[in-house]
Amino acid sequence: MMDKHKLNLMMAGLIPSQESWGMGMERRGKDSLSWYDLNINWNTFPCEQELAIIVTSWPGQLKWLKAVLKNYRLSGAFVILAYDNPFFGFGNLGDNQIFQSLPNIQHYLLAHSMVVHHYTVEPKKRDGWFWDVRYAQGIIKNFKNIKYVYCTNGDCLIEKPEGFKDIINLLGDADLMSGQSTESNIHTCAVIYKAEAFHKIFDAMAELMRVPIIGSRSPEIMLREIVTELNLKLMHVPKQPLWPQDNSVDMYCCYNQDSTWKELLGFRNLFAEQETSWNEGLEPLPQKYIDDYMNFIYFSGEEKNTICKYWETGDRRYLYMWWDIGESSDYNRYYALLEHYGDKPIYEKTGEGFSFHRK
For residue 185, the number of C-alpha atoms closer than 13 Å in the C-beta half-sphere is 13
Structural domain count, the chain: 2
156 and 75 in a common domain: yes
Q: How far apart are CA 204 and CA 222, in angstroms?
A: 9
215 and 134 in a common domain: yes
Asked if residue 273 belongs to a domain, the reply is: no
CA distances to 137, 170, 305, 331, 355 from 270, in Å: 25, 24, 20, 26, 22
Q: How many helices (H) and strands (E) does the chain have?
A: 15, 9
Strand-strand pairing, 176-178 and 190-194 = antiparallel
Nearest CA among 19, 140, 27, 39 for reference residue 82: 140
Residue 136 domain boundaries:
44-266
215 and 94 in a common domain: yes
Q: How far apart are CA 254 and CA 270, in angstroms?
A: 8
Residues 165-212 pLDDT 10s: 999 999 999 999 999 999 999 999 999 999 999 999 999 999 999 988
173 and 56 in a common domain: yes
Asked if residue 235 belongs to a domain, the reply is: yes
**Cβ(267)–Cβ(253) below 8 Å:** yes
At 123 the pLDDT is: 65
290 and 245 in a common domain: no
At 357 the pLDDT is: 57
Q: Print pLDDT tens along the chain (359 aa).
A: 568 898 999 999 999 876 655 555 566 666 667 778 788 889 999 999 999 999 999 999 999 999 999 999 999 999 999 999 988 877 667 888 889 999 999 999 999 999 999 988 876 668 889 999 999 999 999 999 999 999 999 999 999 999 999 999 999 999 999 999 999 999 999 999 999 999 999 999 999 999 888 877 889 999 999 999 999 999 999 999 999 999 999 999 999 999 999 999 999 999 999 999 999 999 999 999 999 999 999 999 999 999 999 999 999 999 999 999 998 777 788 899 999 999 999 999 876 545 555 54
305 and 252 in a common domain: no
Q: How far apart are CA 351 and CA 355, in angstroms?
A: 9
At 228 the pLDDT is: 97
219 and 115 in a common domain: yes
Q: How far apart are the first and last CA of the chain?
A: 63
323 and 185 in a common domain: no
In single-letter form, the type of residue at position 9 comes to L
At 359 the pLDDT is: 44
Residues 108-160 pLDDT 10s: 999 999 999 998 887 666 888 999 999 999 999 999 999 999 999 999 999 99
**Cβ(243)–Cβ(250) below 8 Å:** yes
299 and 161 in a common domain: no
Q: What is the CATH number for 168?
A: 3.90.550.10
Residues 6 or more apart whose Cβ sits within 8 Å of residue 176? 186, 191, 192, 193, 194, 197, 198, 201, 227, 232, 233, 234, 235
The model carries a pTM of 0.94
294 and 243 in a common domain: no
Q: How far apart are CA 130 and CA 217, in angstroms?
A: 9
248 and 151 in a common domain: yes
Asked if residue 257 belongs to a domain, the reply is: yes
316 and 244 in a common domain: no
Phi, psi of 236 (to 5 degrees): -90, 135
